Structure 1
Amino acid sequence: MATGQLLEDRYGTRPRRTSRRAYWILGACALLLGGGIAWLGYANLGTAPIQTQRVGFENLEGDAMSLTFEITRNTPDRPAVCIVRTRVRSGAEGGRREVLVPPGPATSRVTTTIRSGAEPVTADVFGCSYQVPAYLSTDLPPSG
């Protein structure tokens, strides 16, 4: 028996080394996967296409409140819908309303009146979207 054969029998064969090419391929795959995850995070958690800020609110007679808010859109040539609401003393929602914001300037002020089920203490904008329901659209076909 040769000496080399005795050593292999005693210690086994040397493990095969991974080539440098495999490391480069794995590194490239990891970079692509990381880039994809970063892009998805930015697309889903990045800046909102519509931003709002409450400018003021005022109590009106008959359990109603007037709300003025400023809306800034990244696509001002599209109509938007904003949901506004009032809150009562307990913190519960007292009233809610959808407001159509027609196409116009990138930043505009909107004033609306919200009816409430009890005396409102504050009002705010719940959220805005470009997905305007058909019943709010101003370009509905004539009924006939």
Structure 2
Amino acid sequence: MHILLSSSSGQPIYQQIVQEIQGQILKGSLAPGQQLPSLRQLARDLKVSIITTKRAYEELEEAGFVQSIPGKGTFVARLNVDFLQEQERLKLDHYLQEATRSARKLGLNAKDLYPILQSLFEEEESSS
């Protein structure tokens, strides 16, 4: 499992771990039933505190993405990926509505936003 962390993102490390694992589950890179690294192993691999990985795994479990089985480990939950993808699309729709309102306040239109969005995608791709 490959997780990319950024100390300059302004986002807590545990949240970055959560987002990376959620993304891999939603894309199908991590399959239902697949075992995740142990808390200690992930902390060692990422060079972070075990408390950080514990918090990330707890958030993933609360959100239904993983299931922890005492004595066995943490596994990708058997969940409805279509439902989760739809939830993510709804969140994206909300963020885009907010961005559209902000753009209109600045006098920008869709043509003005396209290069900005393209640049953000390129930045994201180059950082991963």
Using structure 2 for the length normalisation, give the TM-score: 0.23
Higher strand share: 1
Using structure 1 for the length normalisation, give the TM-score: 0.21
